[in-house]
Amino acid sequence: MTIRVLFLINGLGLGNSTRCLAIIDELSKLGATIEVVTSGNGTWFLSNRAQISKIHKSEPFHYGAKEGRISILKTFKELGHTLTKFFRNRYSLKKIIEEFCPHIIVPDSEYTFTRAQKGKIPLVAINNSNVVFFSFFRFSQTPRSIWAQFFGVELLDLIFHKIVSDLVISPALDQSLSRSSKKFLQVGPIVRNLYQRKKPLDQNRKRVVIMLSGSIFGTQLRVHRQNYPFEIDVIGCNAPAGWQSRDQITFHGKLLDTFWLLSQADLVVVNGGFSAVSEVFSMKIPMVVVPVPKHSEQWVNGQTIVNLGVGVMADEASLEEVMLLAYEQLDDFRNSYRTLQPTMNGAIQAARKIISLAKASLEIK
């Protein structure tokens, strides 16, 4: 019997879509039939994929914003509008479920499903809020600027999944952590197959990639130097208005395939989204992580990279300076990668677990 899997994917940025695609690829190899509900960047990125039978568009959810930054206050002020979207999406999801009849539902940062659906169809979420929660208190000198987002969003996310999800598949970069429990299954980083490398580069290619988030909260690129000791490829945004073209800097905009640029990079500057950091980490490329301001998970991801010794953190103002300093430390970062224990393939682990739970549910019925 063919297992039918329905993915519910947050389409605000690209991270949820890239890691779900990695799982979808593995599920497709196992013979599953897959449909996806998503929005925004998710629709753009996942369209025309042979592994996906059908994509259903939903209305996007997002944080409230003030001056281009996350605003928890505005997020709560817009709760009424958000709830209206929620109920419209929930009605649409009900119709999709009736037509597709999935054996299992896999949400990734999507909360349209409800407790009422629990017990009929297994809910297996992709979410690492348990790792974020543990790391938030594990790291010292946690900046106060991220506390509101942590307690107002990340903590609620953890509580939500503990109550609603049947199982949570939780990817982690630091394999020394052991956060598995009855509800949370810790797996390795969930990345696409191409985005894995056995060892770091041995020689410099004199190339740096700046890969900015597809979210509206992504870092604004500001580079001022006229000369760099390397070429720079910028992914995720177009050249700013009034940009004076420079031979060393190339803007590529949004790309479906970033591998061909990342594979040549000595260093990657990236926002702190978990999926983007995971793919760079799995390719064993030193990195500069620039967390979105006031975002606790992104800060935790950046601090994890620092603790593992494979990169540094910066903010928007110091990006250029830190990038140049990090380039001088490439050998140190690469040596740290060589000392880390191998990571499991989280996408394969997740796909196998999803299939086994779907089959177990069918046997019970």
pLDDT per residue as tens digits for the range 220-233: 667 777 789 999 99
For the cut 60, the answer to whether the pLDDT of residue 178 exceeds it is: yes
Query: DSSP 3-state assignment of 117?
Result: helix
Looking at 30-181, list the stretches that DSSP marks H as alpha helix, in order from N- to C-terminal side.
40-46, 72-77, 79-100, 129-138, 147-149, 155-164
Angle at 83 between CA 275 and CA 64, to 5 degrees: 55
- Give the pLDDT score at 217: 47
For the cut 50, the answer to whether the pLDDT of residue 116 exceeds it is: no
Higher-confidence position of 63 and 123: 123
Give the full edge-to-edge strand order of the sheet including 249-253.
Answer: 249-253, 231-235, 207-211, 267-271, 287-290, 311-313
Average pLDDT over residues 120-149: 92
- Give the single-character DSSP code of 123: B
Angle at 101 between CA 117 and CA 110, to 5 degrees: 50
Average pLDDT over residues 171-191: 89
Q: pTM for the full model?
A: 0.89
Structure tokens at 236: 């995720």
- Give the pLDDT score at 111: 84
Average pLDDT over residues 307-329: 95
- Give the pLDDT score at 230: 95
Confidence of residue 140 (pLDDT cuts 50, 70, 90): confident
Higher-confidence position of 257 and 64: 257
For the cut 50, the answer to whether the pLDDT of residue 122 exceeds it is: yes
Confidence of residue 238 (pLDDT cuts 50, 70, 90): confident
Whole-number average pLDDT of the chain: 88
Nearest Cα residue to 107 out of 229, 20, 219: 20
For the cut 70, the answer to whether the pLDDT of residue 152 exceeds it is: yes
Give the number of C-alpha atoms closer than 13 A to the C-alpha of residue 231, restricted to the C-beta side.
12
Contact 133, 151 (CB under 8 A): no
For the cut 80, the answer to whether the pLDDT of residue 176 exceeds it is: yes
For the cut 50, the answer to whether the pLDDT of residue 216 exceeds it is: no
CA distances from 282 to 192, 257, 344 (A): 10, 16, 10
Higher-confidence position of 15 and 78: 15
Q: In percent, how much of the chain has pLDDT > 90? A: 65
DSSP E strands in the chain: the ranges are 4-9, 33-38, 54-57, 65-66, 69-70, 104-108, 124-126, 167-171, 184-187, 207-211, 231-235, 249-253, 267-271, 287-290, 311-313
- Give the pLDDT score at 68: 53
pLDDT digits (tens, 9 = 90+) for 21-55: 999 999 999 999 999 999 989 999 999 999 999 99
